Structure 1
Amino acid sequence: MLDYKALSSLHAVLKFQSFDKAAEYLHLTQSAVSQNIKRLEQECGRPLLIRARPVVATPLGEQLLAHFNKVTMLEEGLQEAIQGQQATQPINIAVNNDVLATWFTDVVCQFSASDKTKLHIKAADQAKTRALLQTGEVVACVSQIGTPVAGGDSIFLGNMYYELVATPSFIEEHLKGDLSATAVLKSPSLIYDEYDEL
């Protein structure tokens, strides 16, 4: 059986990026938080944190954190069913930038009108959102990959179509009137991050 008090210390240290702030949040001493994590590392036989700035979870630490997040969400759902309390743990979801910039705000508005649960949205490239779901950092994602993760389900939402637009001056200056794919690919462009292949 996992030590959930120790897991809550691991979660708090990674959340607040500080042993002191984690201790304050958990109403423990900094030493107790450190000992909890050390005990958990001894039980697992491997380090769970890379104690640097910023504090980073090891791959095993990420797995344990994902498990802790799922258990916390399940317990809050159960408490809500038993006592009619509103869940305080936000639902972590991953959405790509294009979706955030277009139709997803309507979804959030409709959701908030019927449910007061907080959403924590992680922006990531559409090819990377599924990886966040696999590691347990999020419980749902919008992805270009339709294959469901183990224990999950996949629902087809539709297709997004992209339309290339530019001002007449941009076409004149950078494309010289040549609207071929080769010319467009050579023109100046904005990419969101290193994973953006559009």
Structure 2
Amino acid sequence: MSKKLVFSILGSVLFLTALGVYIAVGSMDQPSEGINSSETTAETGEGAAETDINETGKETGTPNPFEPKVKTPLKEKLIQQYIHAMSHQKVAADEKWSFFEITDERIDFLLGQLEVNNYKHDRLYKEILTSWKKGDFSEADRQHNAVWKLQNGSIGEAKGLLSPKAEEAYLQKQNKESR
């Protein structure tokens, strides 16, 4: 074989190997769906099961009422983001980048996640969600800021609570924008 042919074959093999590695690594870094795919690490999938099993083999309960394609168990970052986004309904802040309306179904779902999974800050999440379940939002600004700080927030600190009238206007605006 001539040197030219050997170098051509070697060059082709190296190119194809590099291309294969590039494609394989690139597919592993695809963002998942979620509130903000650049920040979310939750696993997603088409046709997510109605109930999923966590690492301990326990059923995690009902399907996700936030985003049906996001499977359980939820990563801690997503628990934080859901609580943070729900708190926007109750707090005054210069910037609010996400929103989920506070519902009993969502609160119960997150409390259920706390029962079957272990999170570093689960006491904080349970305190917040338990007070909200009781209809107590008197500390929603402090609760927002506690989660916001866990997320290394720098913009959008809560500066108090919205009045009932301001909250209703915020909800109407969010509902219009989501249509």
Query: TM-score over 0.5 for the alignment?
Result: no
More strand by share: 1
Q: How does the TM-score come out when normalised to structure 1?
A: 0.23
